[in-house]
Amino acid sequence: MRIDVLTIFPEYLAPLELSLLGKARRQGLVDLHVHDLRDWTHDRHRTVDDSPLGGGAGMVMKPEPWAEAFAAVRAAGRAEMGEQAQPLVVFPNPAGAPFAQATAQAWSEREWIVFACGRYEGIDERVYEHLDAEGYEVALASLGDYVLNGGEVAVLAITEAVVRLVPGVVGNAESLREESHAEGLLEYPLYTRPAAWTDPAGTLREVPPILLSGDHAKIAAWRRERSLERTAERRPDLLGPAPTEG
């Protein structure tokens, strides 16, 4: 999978070199390119923003650097992957569709994603119109109902969620099937040794005996019940709409 990131803060993406992602890169499973949007400006101050037409607070990102950046990144990617290659362009945006595990799963199967990090109040609307007209596939994705200063932190989160699902990146595929959200439920409680533990307050805390029974079918059924119970308690929305009266 190839990933390009367009940002005015390329150093913000440094964590992508670490741990899981660094390993995926070294193994050649992920090819990551972080670009400074200001490389596609032409004035002395490398200007990427201007005041909103019609008035209002804050600044708006100018269209020209974005259009040049997308053209250059698409050309560079196609030069490596072939002229038929089509990136999915993702704008992290609090007004986007909620990013969820199903999104991460779908995107982990893409050949190429270009993340476009907006800052300030937003990006000139004509950039989206232009990308549409040029045949780019575009998605807006939100991490949740709160506002970040820019898309960079969202790209860190989305990239980690996506890349760990790329086959070969997480060693144990079983752990991906069992974790929270993998089946639309929260994960069951986990225990390890010692099976009987006296906590610092002097209370003896034992693991549920069924986990020591060796009966794998019973353990699986018990875990399923705990998952359902936990999901109903903490995230009833995941179990579907509440039944209505009448």
Please say which residue, 49 or 178, places its beta carbon nearer to ligand 6GU.
49
Per DSSP, the three-state class of 244 is coil
Min separation Cβ 123 and ligand 6GU, Å: 11
Task: Give how many residues touch ligand 6GU by CB under 6 A.
Answer: 13
147 sits near ligand 6GU (criterion: CB under 6 A): yes
Strands (E), 57-203: 60-61, 88-98, 112-116, 122-123, 137-142, 196-198
95 sits near ligand 6GU (criterion: CB under 6 A): no
What is the x/- site pattern for ligand 6GU, positions 191-230, by CB under 6 A? Answer: ----------------------------------------
Please say which residue, 81 or 157, places its beta carbon nearer to ligand 6GU.
157
207 vs 33, 192, 213, CA distance in Å?
A: 47, 8, 11
For residues 11 and 140, give the distance between their C-alpha atoms in angstroms, rounded to a whole number.
Answer: 23
Please say which residue, 140 or 176, places its beta carbon nearer to ligand 6GU.
140
Question: If we measure between CA atoms, which residue out of 49, 44, 86 comes closest to residue 64?
Answer: 49
Per DSSP, the three-state class of 52 is coil
Binding site for ligand 6GU (CB under 6 A): 92-94, 141-144, 146-148, 150-151, 154
